[in-house]
Structure 1
Amino acid sequence: MTSTPIPLAGVVQSADHQSAVTAIYDHWLSASGLPGRYVPLTISADDLGEVIRVLPRAGFVGLNITRPFQRLVLDHADIITDRAALMSGANTIIFRKDGKIHADNTDGYGFIENIRQGAQGWNPKSGPAAVFGAGRAAREVVAALLEVGVEEIRIANRTRPRAEALRAEFGTRIVVTDWVKGGNIVEGAMTIVNATPLGSPGQQDFRVPLDGLTRGAVVSDLAIAPEITRLMRVAMQMGCYPVDGIGMVLYQAAPAFERWYGRRPEVDQTARAVATGAYSS
């Protein structure tokens, strides 16, 4: 009698990256009653192409890809979605039954879905957005906000040329402001996003003046920890709708799980508790 192989999924990570995402997928597999395993894989950039070509033969149905491999993995994909091409990187790999390697990026989807669920009734066209940061996370946020119809995105970054590069790429709906005047961009903004590491453990505090926050605005902090950042705390005090970073992790992970295992997982309070516990441990 032959046994049915257990479908495997995994995360390709650098040697110094500890993936709490493993706990999320393990929870969803258990909650769904599905056979499967989620496996952390630490490999070198030089071996990436060779390894991902072999993994389907070992029973893998897909992978998550962490930095710094997200751009590099595109060189080894047969199919690249428009989202992954726009982001110049993929966070999700699907090993198709026809043998092709499919690269996608679900970060933008996760960001928007997290806001829609965390601040129900959010209207992207209700006013300008203010984004702090100009790195990869900010780029994903900007692309996602433009896609859903935000008409003006104000950006402040500690290194102005990086913000100017986003404006050059995404066009005149981007307005760049010097970091020292960052407090100005929240005035009248209805969506505010911290896409910097500031405020996370081991980082400097997020000290941008927030007295210009508009009551009823949606304020999203992409920081995973602490669970309630200074930005979110101030947002609540000023009558805004705070949206944390844990939800984005969950909502970007859900479509990958569905592509691999054929079932959409629940992003519920139990999943949030698992994710919060994993990132705080």
Structure 2
Amino acid sequence: MTRKAFVIGHPIAHSRSPLIHGTWITQYGIDGSYEPFDVSPDDLPLFFERLKTGEFAGGNVTIPHKEAVFALCDTLDPLAETIGAANTLVRQPDGRVHGTNTDYLGFLGNLDANAQGWSEGLDTAIVLGAGGAARAILVALKARGISRVHVLNRTKATARRLAEAIDGPFHPGGLEYFTEIAGAAGLVVNTTSVGMHGTAFDTLDLSVLPKTATVTDLVYVPRRTPLLIEAEQQGLRTVDGLGMLLHQAVPGFTAWFGVEPEVSDTLRRRVEQTLEH
């Protein structure tokens, strides 16, 4: 029987998920499909009913629905509850919908694959931004046992609210605090939209970081953001955001189709070819 999965968003044409999952379906010879659906916020409950009837094995969720589906799921992974959003849905045999958030797994998988040993001996990390994406990263760093994570944001109050919302070793502050703390940081993570459309941080001095530090950016269009380019010029190890997109797709595919897929160089190149440079 053909197993069907989906990605929903509004809009959805930009999503690379159909390319990723479609490649795996072909590679592993699976009798299945993965389709994008543009679902407006008003139509989201109706689409959930289609999922519950068994039309789909499950699917992915992207902007702007990650928080909305959280309330529609019948059960939730504890980490998804902490993050406050779900990006992966799995229909259970009894028709109930289970929601998970695989962004933190994608983040960790990307660093583990492309910056091996990054967390060994890592005591201090800096997370730039305090929006929805930052929540998943904080959960990931806490799970990996990082003992001190600075959450820096243009608006200090927003960083403070995020740090208070998630129990952990999180220390909020403004972006201007970067220079003071960067000397002890082994990891810098950009979770903001800075880097898109040629934008760049104008207050970060990456030269203060230890030469052993790793800098990673969740932005993957362009793949080499101004932050990563500057980090490379400083001789720092860098990891782009595309790998997170690829690795976060693995758990969902495994749940829907029963095969754990590989994030290969071939798949990465296929997706890279579709990105704007």
| 1:204 has 2:191 as partner | no
Superimposed CA distance per residue, residues 177-212 of structure 1 (whole angstroms, 9 cap, x where no aligned partner): 2223333332220011011111122x5213322111
| 1:60 has 2:47 as partner | no
Report the equivalent of 1:80: 76
| 1:19 has 2:27 as partner | no
Identify the match of residue 165 of structure 1 among 155, 161, 164. Answer: 161
| 1:30 has 2:26 as partner | yes
> Cα offset for 1:156?
1.3
Q: Is the 2:188–2:214 contact (alpha carbons within 8 Å) kept by the matching residues of 1?
A: yes
Relative distance call for 1:56 and 1:169 in structure 2 (3 A) is closer
> Cα offset for 1:239?
3.1
Please tell me the residue identity of whatever aligns with 2:194: L
Q: Is the 2:10–2:38 contact (alpha carbons within 8 Å) kept by the matching residues of 1?
A: yes
> Aligned partners of 1:16 and 1:43: how far apart in 2?
8
> Aligned partners of 1:72 and 1:149: how far apart in 2?
30
Report the equivalent of 1:185: 181
TM-score by length of 2: 0.93
> Cα offset for 1:43?
1.6
Three-state SS of the structure 2 residue aligned to 1:28 is helix
**Aligned residue runs from structure 1 range 112-191, under 5 A:** 112-123=108-119, 125-171=121-167, 173-191=169-187
Note the residue ranges of structure 2 that are not aligned, 5 or more in a row.
none
Report the equivalent of 2:275: 279
Identify the match of residue 9 of structure 1 among 5, 15, 19. Answer: 5
Q: Is the 1:24–1:271 contact (alpha carbons within 8 Å) kept by the matching residues of 2?
A: yes
> Aligned partners of 1:234 and 1:45: how far apart in 2?
39
> Cα offset for 1:272?
0.8
> Cα offset for 1:253?
0.5
Three-state SS of the structure 2 residue aligned to 1:52 is helix
Q: Is the 1:27–1:274 contact (alpha carbons within 8 Å) kept by the matching residues of 2?
A: no
Relative distance call for 1:275 and 1:56 in structure 2 (3 A) is farther
> Aligned partners of 2:122 and 2:245: how far apart in 1?
25
> Cα offset for 1:58?
6.2
Give the superposed CA RMSD.
Answer: 1.8
Structure 1 runs, 4 residues or longer, greater than 6 Å off: none
